[in-house]
Amino acid sequence: MNEPAKAQMADVAHSREVAEAARESDWQGKGFLRDLFLGRFDFGLIHPYPLQELAAERPEFKRFEEEFERFLAEKVDSDAIDEHGDYPPGVVDELRRMGAFGMKIPREYGGLGFSQVEYARIMQLLGSRDGNLAALLSAHQSIGVPRPLELFGSEKLKRRYLPRCARGSISGFALTEVLAGSDPARLSTTAELSQDGTHYLLNGSKLWCTNGTLAELLVVMARDPKSGAISAFVVETDWPGVEVVHRSRFMGLRALASAALRFDHVEVPRENLIGEEGRGLKIALTTLNAGRLSIPAALVGTAKVALELDRKWASVRAQWGTEIGRHEAIAHKLADIASTTYAMESVSDLAQALADRKGYDIRLEAAAAKVWNAVQAWRICDETMQIRGGRGYETKSSLEARGEAGVGVERWLRDVRCNLIGEGSSEIMHLFMAREALHRHLQVAGVLFDPKAPMARKAGALPGIAWFYLSWILELWLRGLASPFRFRGLGRLGRHLRFVDGASRKLARQTFHGMVVHGRRLERKQAFLFRLIDVAIELLAISASVSRAATASRTGGRGAAHGTLLAERFAVASASRVKGLFRGLWHNADRADYELGRAVLAGQHAWLEKGAIGLGLSADDLAPRPPTAPAKGASERKATPAQVA
């Protein structure tokens, strides 16, 4: 093996070790999806559906929700925000006045003390109106300074910064770098403890820090230059050496205050360390677990307003002598959008409620809700544009200028696309879930796949491994015998749960089969792993939808009369996708696609690019580089919201 290949293998191994060290190795409670991957469909973990928890309305929250809804409807012009590409100072000031920057901050630190369920209801309202504002508030308190301080910060740090955050000192989360996104081993920003031990010296740069051009406070991840350990710090942006070098602009979410940051010998007081030294990535990942839940909640709001538009437009737009909603092609789309919106809300609301409960570890449910709702919201907005036709592609201002109702579907589509990338791309989320799905298997049999483990250790582990899998397979078989008799009390909804029950056992068997067939190569079989993850997510969506419909039918909750119909329609469509995913595990073109992709990468098909005006750039020209552009104007630098207009 040549030296470059050896170096690449060492780099891959180091990245894997860093990522493995950063994950939470112990489960902190019950996990529905965790058990599902082992073939244990424990419906009791999510049923009865938490309708009462979701419907409970504290008077102080209800007053805030009503005021916030009026504010969004009367004072927020989302298309103007999109057009101008900035947050109006008056809007940000009003958010401060209402206490919106402190929704999740405990009351003892000056916040409103909302539960995760209550916070998600506000995010849903935001998602139905303005993605830019949803990003502003979510980045501030779901992943910005408040959340990691609440979970890991010292009491001194909490007293110092949480009241500021609650009053509206905007915060951001600075992890991503030019060469270090989801690969923490490449993190290059350093924090070196001074000789007298009073402060850290922070040097480096960060990219795509949401709220970065507005933020007064940042959570910054940095590496010890000697040990390599990564720690988390609270950094104030008005300290000497903190600089916003560029404001990034995007296809959608055009007001997003996303910054490229540079730290040049920034002195960070030692007491601004969050938690312990070397636990920065664990803090980041734990923060993101629940922080991601704001995204599926907001996307439910987006799907709901899209459904409203589709229904109303399809009832008044006529083609060939009848409303387009009466044509089968459009009626099918409406059925799909309605049932998928029901499932999106079921998945999101369930995850929010579980996050509030004690004794649950929702890392997989949060990731699944984020991934699945992001995909479905994008698809729903795309279908909405298709139903709306040319008026969907036309901007709101253009529609209004020629006398029609202005509904900016094209903005919805641009804004919603970010959710497939931000806070962990869909691909990275699949890899994260795959690692967690294999957790128990690696606990039991991981030594067999460890190239560093001596043969004697592997041989010694075989009896224990054999006993575990024999017992496990027997358990799956016994569960299968009982499956036909389960869920009969749920009437016609029971058959969909029996499908989930059988599919969960098949998921477990196929996961084990994949480990046997692929061995150590399984981690590189991403298409195989992604199909397994997609199966589990679909089973979660079916289970949540059926639990919600069944509980509402029994208790008379909201949508009780029609929830069963929506849940059944969704379950049938989802089951069809699950069957296709299972078939694709072993009957696919994965190997051929991989080889073709490698050939394209090597330039063997560059001839196909001829006949077009090329980019005029080499691959080296496209390589990521640290930001060097100087800041331009007050709106491009760290600033107060009043300065950003």
Residue 291 pLDDT level (bands cut at 50, 70, 90)? confident
**What is the end-to-end Cα distance of the chain in Å, rounded?**
57
- Give the pLDDT confidence of 140-195 residue by residue, as tens digits: 999 999 999 999 999 999 999 999 999 999 999 999 999 877 676 689 999 999 99
Residue 635 pLDDT level (bands cut at 50, 70, 90)? very low
Tokens of 538: 């679909």
At residue 351, the pLDDT reads 97
Closest CA to 65 of 117, 125, 115, 107: 125
Q: 588: phi > 0 → left, psi -120 to 50 → alpha, else beta; which? A: beta
Question: Could you tell me if 58 and 37 lie in one domain?
Answer: no
More confident residue, 585 or 447: 585
Tokens of 599: 């050939």
- Give the pLDDT confidence of 180-234 residue by residue, as tens digits: 776 766 899 999 999 999 999 999 999 999 999 999 999 999 999 999 999 999 9
Question: Could you tell me if 363 and 406 lie in one domain?
Answer: yes
The answer to whether residue 102 is domain-embedded is yes
The answer to whether residue 621 is domain-embedded is no
Question: Could you tell me if 431 and 525 lie in one domain?
Answer: no
SS3 422: coil
The answer to whether residue 622 is domain-embedded is no
The answer to whether residue 353 is domain-embedded is yes
Which CATH number covers residue 208?
2.40.110.10
Question: Could you tell me if 482 and 402 lie in one domain?
Answer: no
Question: Could you tell me if 387 and 239 lie in one domain?
Answer: no
The answer to whether residue 6 is domain-embedded is no
- Give the pLDDT confidence of 390-418 residue by residue, as tens digits: 999 999 999 999 999 999 999 999 999 99
At residue 106, the pLDDT reads 97
Question: Could you tell me if 400 and 359 lie in one domain?
Answer: yes
Report the alpha-carbon distance of residue 77 to residue 484 in Å, rounded.
Answer: 54
Task: Kindly tell me if the per-residue pLDDT of 44 is higher than 70.
Answer: yes
Residue 59, Cβ density class (10 Å: 0-12 exposed, 13-18 middle, ≥19 buried): exposed
- Give the pLDDT confidence of 418-467 residue by residue, as tens digits: 999 988 889 999 999 999 989 889 888 888 888 888 999 989 999 999 99
SS3 461: helix
Q: Do residues 89 and 642 touch, judged by C-beta distance below 8 A?
A: yes
The active-site residue, picked from 423, 436, 538, 568, is 423
Residue whose entry in the numeric block shows the structure tokens 């030692």 = 270
**193 DSSP β-pair partners:** 200
- Give the pLDDT confidence of 594-618 residue by residue, as tens digits: 999 999 999 999 999 999 999 999 9
- Give the pLDDT confidence of 22-42 residue by residue, as tens digits: 556 677 789 999 999 999 999
Among 45-54, 282-291, 370-379, top mean pLDDT goes to 370-379
Q: What φ, ψ does residue 253 adopt, rounded to 5°?
A: 45, 55
Question: Of 435, 467, 491, which one is at a domain's C-terminal end?
Answer: 435
Report the alpha-carbon distance of residue 340 to residue 625 in Å, rounded.
Answer: 41
Question: Could you tell me if 468 and 576 lie in one domain?
Answer: yes
pLDDT-above-90 percentage for the chain: 79
Q: Do residues 224 and 245 touch, judged by C-beta distance below 8 A?
A: no
Q: How many CB atoms lie within 10 A of CB 12?
A: 13
Residue 645 pLDDT level (bands cut at 50, 70, 90)? very low
Question: Could you tell me if 40 and 176 lie in one domain?
Answer: no
- Give the pLDDT confidence of 539-583 residue by residue, as tens digits: 999 999 999 999 999 988 677 779 999 999 999 999 999 999 999
At residue 416, the pLDDT reads 98
**318 DSSP β-pair partners:** 323
Tokens of 571: 């379950």
> Is residue 148 reached through a cis peptide bond, with omega within 30 degrees of 0 on the bond before it?
no
Task: Kindly tell me if the per-residue pLDDT of 13 is higher than 60.
Answer: no
Tokens of 36: 């599902």
At residue 25, the pLDDT reads 63
At residue 24, the pLDDT reads 67
Question: Of 435, 470, 489, which one is at a domain's C-terminal end?
Answer: 435
- Give the pLDDT confidence of 326-357 residue by residue, as tens digits: 999 999 999 999 999 999 999 999 999 999 99
SS3 65: helix
In sequence order, the 6+-apart residues with CB closer than 8 A to the CB of 517 are none
Q: State the chain's mean pLDDT as an integer.
A: 91
Question: Could you tell me if 423 and 543 lie in one domain?
Answer: no
At residue 641, the pLDDT reads 37
Residue whose entry in the numeric block shows the structure tokens 């630098």 = 637
Report the alpha-carbon distance of residue 102 to residue 95 in Å, rounded.
Answer: 10
* Residue 290: half-sphere exposure toward Cβ, Cα within 13 Å: 25
Task: Kindly tell me if the per-residue pLDDT of 643 is higher than 80.
Answer: no
423 included as an active-site residue:
yes
| Radius of gyration of the chain from its Cα atoms, rounded to whole angstroms | 26
Report the alpha-carbon distance of residue 547 to residue 553 in Å, rounded.
Answer: 10
At residue 542, the pLDDT reads 98
75 alpha-carbon distance from chain centroid: 29
User: What is the residue-wise DSSP string for 181-240?
Assistant: SS-GGG---EEEE-TTSSEEEEEEEEEEETTTTT-SEEEEEEE-TTT--EEEEEEETTST
Task: Kindly tell me if the per-residue pLDDT of 4 is higher than 80.
Answer: no
Report the alpha-carbon distance of residue 209 to residue 199 in Å, rounded.
Answer: 24
SS3 360: strand
At residue 626, the pLDDT reads 78
Which CATH number covers residue 568?
1.20.140.10
The answer to whether residue 626 is domain-embedded is no
Mean pLDDT of all residues in 47-62:
93
Indicate yes or no: pTM above 0.85.
yes
Sign of CA pseudo-dihedral 294, 299, 305, 307: negative
At residue 186, the pLDDT reads 81
SS3 395: coil
Question: Could you tell me if 303 and 415 lie in one domain?
Answer: yes
Closest CA to 123 of 560, 567, 419: 419
Q: How many domains is the chain built from? A: 3
At residue 284, the pLDDT reads 87
SS3 557: coil
Residue 7 pLDDT level (bands cut at 50, 70, 90)? low
Task: Kindly tell me if the per-residue pLDDT of 636 is higher than 60.
Answer: no
Residue 632 pLDDT level (bands cut at 50, 70, 90)? very low
Question: Could you tell me if 504 and 549 lie in one domain?
Answer: yes
The answer to whether residue 461 is domain-embedded is yes
SS3 1: coil
Instruction: 450-455: list long-range contacts, CB under 8 Å, 24+ apart.
Output: 451/520
Residue 21 pLDDT level (bands cut at 50, 70, 90)? low
At residue 5, the pLDDT reads 52
Looking at this protein, which amino acid is placed at residue 205?
A: S
Structural domain containing residue 515: 16-47+445-594
The answer to whether residue 625 is domain-embedded is no
Report the alpha-carbon distance of residue 454 to residue 466 in Å, rounded.
Answer: 19
Question: Could you tell me if 145 and 175 lie in one domain?
Answer: yes
Mean pLDDT of all residues in 495-506:
97
User: What is the residue-wise DSSP string for 249-306?
Assistant: --SS-TT--EEEEEEEEEEEEGGGEESSTT-HHHHHHHHHHHHTTHHHHHHHHHHHHH
